Structure 1
Amino acid sequence: MMMCGAVSQVSNATPEVQQICDKMKPHAEKKAGKKFDVFTAKTFTTQVVAGTNFFIKVHVGGDEYMHLRVHKTLPHAGGKLELHGVQTPKTHNDPIGFF
């Protein structure tokens, strides 16, 4: 069982994580200042807080990757998604973690 506030181990992306990326793509493109033809979730980790923080490694084409920090509110608060940060440029080998 994971402790509240601790960051989980890195896992391969799931369909749910890809759906989060799909919803966050326009916001990530705005923050990065460019459009991406490819936007595929590869790996992720989570942090349980007042909701869940998702730290997601996303392939954005070629050898380029981007890291997203997305907050999902608790169900009673609507389970809304909000992009809290991006890190770019990243590579396949850059570790994903808290930022």
Structure 2
Amino acid sequence: MEQINNGGHTQQKEADSEIQKICDWVKPHAQAKAGKTFDIFTAKIYTTQVLAWTKYCVKVHVGGDDYLHLHVQEKLRCFGVDMELTHIEQGKSLDDPIGHS
């Protein structure tokens, strides 16, 4: 059974191909919000929280020592498969903890 932290979020996990697919899907939206283009966009770690949707917080490497934190919501399957990039946090490093909102 997966252990949940006090905020209802899972512990950090290594990003897999499914998380990378989510990041690939939201990349154009993240670039628009950031006002820049990212040649590198590699998911590294993530957490999830399941409510009436699944909320992902993903640390993404965007080149050099730069990282973004993406906050993505995905509706549960019974409501469809809509995904939304709710916001990004820029100027993050590898050591910055993933934030939740």
TM-score by length of 1: 0.94
Equivalent position of 1:8 in the other structure: 10
Select between 72-81 and 29-38 the one with higher mean Cα deviation. Answer: 72-81
Equivalence for 2:19: 17
Map 1:80-99 → 2, pairs under 5 A: 80-99=82-101
User: 1:78 maps to what in 2?
Assistant: 80
Higher relative contact order (CA 8 A, sep 6+): 1
Amino acid at match of 2:54: T
SS of equivalent to 2:96: coil
Q: Tell me the C-alpha RMSD between the 2 structures.
A: 1.4
| Amino acid in structure 1 at the alignment position of 2:55 | N
Whole-Å separation in 2 of the counterparts to 1:97 and 1:86: 10
Q: For 1:32, which of 34, 53, 58 is the aligned residue?
A: 34
Q: Percent identity?
A: 50
Number of residues of Structure 1 aligned to a counterpart in Structure 2: 98
Bigger drift between 40-49 and 72-81 goes to 72-81
User: 1:78 Cα deviation (Å)?
Assistant: 1.1
Following TM superposition, the consecutive aligned residue runs of length 4 or more in structure 1 with deviations greater than 6 angstroms are none
- State the one-letter code of the partner of 1:81: M
Structure 1 unaligned blocks of 5 or more: none
For residues 38 and 63 of structure 1, what CA distance do their matches in structure 2 show?
12
- 1:69 matches 2:71: yes
Three-state SS of the structure 1 residue aligned to 2:97 is coil
Tell me the TM-score normalized by structure 2: 0.92
